[in-house]
Structure 1
Amino acid sequence: MVLLDCETTGGKATVDRITEIALIVITDGIITERWEQLINPGISIPPWISKLTGISNSMLAGKPSFETIADELIDKLQGKVLVAHNARFDYGFLKNEFKRVGIEYTTKPLCSVKLSRRLNPQFKRHGLDAIIERLSIPMSARHRAMGDTEAILHLFQHFSQTCEPEEIEAICKSLRANSSLPSHLPSGEIQKLPCRPGVYRFYSENGQLLYVGKSISIRDRVLNHFSSDHSNAKDLKISQLITHIDYTETPTDFGAQLLENTEIKTLMPAYNRRQTKTRKLYQLEKTTDTSGYAQLQIVLADTSDVSEITQRFGLFRSKKKAESTLRYLAEANQLCHRLSGLEKKASGACFAHQIRRCKGACVHKESAEHYNLRVEMSLSSIKNLMWPWASAILVTEPAAPKHDKNTASDSATTHYHLIDQWIYLGRVEDESTMHDRLNATPTNTSHFDLDAYLILIRFLLNPELIKQHQLQITPLTHQLGERG
Structure 2
Amino acid sequence: MTPALLHPDLLRQFPGGIAFVDIETNGGPAQRASITEIGIVQVDEDGVHEWSALLQPESRIPDHIQRLTGIDDAMVAHAPRFAQIANEVFDRLHGRLFIAHNARFDHGHLRAAFRRAGLDLRPQVLCTVKLSRRLLPEHRHHSLDHLISRHGLDVSARHRALGDATLLWQFWQKLHERFPPAHIAEQVRALVAHRSLPSHLDAEQINALPDTPGVYLFYGEREGKASLPLYIGKSTHLRSRVLAHFAADHQSDRELSLSQQVRRIDWIETAGEVGALLKEAELIKQLQPTHNRLLRRNRDLCTWRLGTDLFGKPRLELLHADALDFGQRDNLYGLFRTRREASNRLRALARDHALCPPLLGLEKHAPRMRCFDFQLKRCHGACNGKEPAAAHEQRLLDALQGLKLESWPWPGPIALREGLELHLIDGWRYLGSTRNGIELTQLLERGRPAFDMDVYKILVKAARTLPVLVLPALDDACTSP
Q: TM-score, normalised by structure 2?
A: 0.57
Alignment of 1:18-29 (within 5 A): none
Conservation of the 8 A alpha-carbon contact between 1:337 and 1:352: yes
The answer to whether the 8 A contact 1:197-1:251 is kept is yes
Match of 2:469 in 1: 474
1:266–1:81: structure 2 CA closer, same or farther, 3 Å change rule?
A: farther
Q: 1:453 to 1:309 in 2, by over 3 A?
A: farther
Q: Which residue of 2 aligns with 1:186?
A: 202
The Cα shift of 1:291 comes to: 5.2
Structure 1 residues 271-307: Cα deviation after superposition (integer angstroms, max 9, x where no partner): 2220111111122233445554434354433256445
Query: Pairwise mapping of residues 210-221 of structure 1 onto structure 2 (< 5 A)?
Result: 210-221=230-241
What is the aligned partner in structure 2 of residue 357 from structure 1? 378
**Which deviations, in whole Å up to 9, do the C-alpha atoms of 1:338-364 show, x marking residues without a partner?**
112333334422122122221211112
CA distance in 1: counterparts of 2:323 and 2:206, whole angstroms:
40
Matches of 2:191 and 2:235, distance apart in 1:
15
Query: Do the aligned partners of 2:249 and 2:256 also contact (CA within 8 Å) in 1?
Result: no
Give the match for residue 148 of structure 2: 96
Aligned to 1:198: 214
User: Within 2, Cα distance between the matches of 1:287 and 1:343?
Assistant: 18
Please name the residue that 1:436 is paired with. Answer: 442
Structure 1 runs not aligned, ≥5 long: 1-12, 14-47, 55-73, 83-89, 102-173, 399-413
- Corresponding letter in the other structure for 1:344: K
Aligned residues, how many?
308
Report the 3-state secondary structure (helix = DSSP H, G, I; strand = E; otherwise coil) of the residue aligned with 1:206: coil
> Residue 461 of structure 2 aligns with which residue?
458
State the alpha-carbon separation in 1 of the partners of residues 398 and 359 from structure 2: 16
Residue type of the alignment partner of 1:238: L
Match of 2:55 in 1: none
Quick check: 1:212–1:263 contact (8 Å CA) kept in 2? yes
Deviation of 1:474 (Å): 0.8
**Could you say if the C-alpha distance between residues 250 and 478 of structure 1 is closer, same or farther in structure 2, counting changes exceeding 3 Å?**
closer
Aligned residues of 1:302 and 1:308 also touching (Cα < 8 A)? no
**TM-score between the two structures when normalised by the length of structure 1:** 0.57
**Equivalent residue for 2:67?**
52
On the 8 A contact 1:183/1:240 being kept in 2, the answer is no
Q: Which secondary structure does the structure 1 equivalent of 2:359 belong to?
A: coil
Aligned to 1:421: 427
Residue 403 of structure 2: aligned partner: 382
Residues 1:250 and 1:436: Cα distance change in structure 2 (over 3 Å): closer
Matched, 1:447 2:463: no
Is this contact kept in 2: 1:335–1:359, CA < 8 A?
Answer: yes
Instruction: Look up the match of 2:296.
Output: 276
Partner SS state of residue 380, structure 2? coil
Indicate conservation of the 8 Å contact 2:214/2:268, yes or no: yes
The answer as to whether partners of 1:293 and 1:371 remain within 8 angstroms in 2 is no
Residue 333 of structure 1 deviates from its aligned partner by 1.3
Compute the displacement of 1:81 (Å): 7.4
- Matching of residue 261 in structure 1 with residue 281 in structure 2: yes
Identity %: 36
Q: Displacement of 1:189 after TM fit?
A: 1.4
- Pairwise CA distance, 1:178: 6.4
Q: Aligned letter for 1:387?
A: W
Give the match for residue 392 of structure 2: 371
Hey, what does 2:331 align to over in structure 1? 311
Q: 1:307 to 1:425 in 2, by over 3 A?
A: same
CA distance in 2, matches of 1:182, 1:321: 41
Contact 2:326 2:407 in 1 (8 A): no
Partners of 1:97 and 1:79 in 2: CA distance: 15
- Kept in 2, the 8 Å contact 1:304–1:447? The answer is no
- Shift in Å, 1:365: 2.2
Alpha-carbon distance in 1 for matches of 2:285, 2:436: 25
Change beyond 3 A, Cα 1:272–1:309: farther
SS of residue in 2 equivalent to 1:362:
coil
Aligned partner of 2:417 in structure 1 is 396
Distance 1:309 1:182, change over 3 A: farther
Using a 3 Å threshold, how does the CA distance of structure 1 residues 266 and 309 change in structure 2: closer, same or farther? farther
Distance 1:309 1:340 in 2: 20
Q: Which amino acid aligns with 1:181?
A: L
User: Is the 8 Å Cα contact of residues 300 and 339 (structure 2) preserved in structure 1?
Assistant: no
Distance, in Å, in 1 between the alignment partners of 2:447 and 2:299 is 20
Contact 2:285 2:295 (8 Å CA) reproduced: yes
Question: Partners of 2:441 and 2:192 in 1: how far apart?
Answer: 48
Map 1:204-243 onto structure 2 (within 5 A): 204-207=220-223, 208=227, 209-243=229-263
Shift of 1:432: 3.6
What letter is aligned with 2:150? F
Structure 2 unaligned residues grouped into runs of 5+:
1-19, 21-62, 70-132, 154-189, 476-481
**Paired letter, 2:404:** K
RMSD: 3.4
Letter of the structure 1 residue corresponding to residue 410 of structure 2: W
Q: Which has the larger radius of gyration?
A: 2
Provide the rounded CA distance (Å) in 2 between the counterparts of 1:97 and 1:325.
59
Distance in structure 2 (CA, Å) of the matches to 1:186 and 1:478: 46
CA contact (8 A) 1:394 1:474 kept: yes
How far apart in 1 are the matches of 2:313 and 2:274?
A: 43
Where 1:455 maps in the other structure, the secondary structure is: helix
CA distance in 1, matches of 2:241, 2:256: 15
Change (3 A) 1:241 1:479: closer
Q: CA deviation at 1:460?
A: 1.1
Mark the CA change 1:330 to 1:396 in structure 2 (over 3 Å): closer, same or farther.
Answer: same
Go from structure 1 to structure 2 and tell me whether the alpha carbon gap of 1:372 and 1:364 turns closer, same or farther (over 3 Å shift): same
1:201 shift after superposition: 0.6
Q: Residues of 2 paired with 1:214 and 1:450: CA distance?
A: 18
Matching of residue 296 in structure 1 with residue 296 in structure 2:
no
Give the C-alpha shift of residue 441 in structure 1: 4.2
In the alignment, is the contact (CA less than 8 A) between 1:392 and 1:477 conserved in 2?
no
Quote the offset at 1:267 in angstroms: 2.1
Q: Give the secondary-structure state (helix, strand or coil) at the position aligned to 1:258.
A: helix
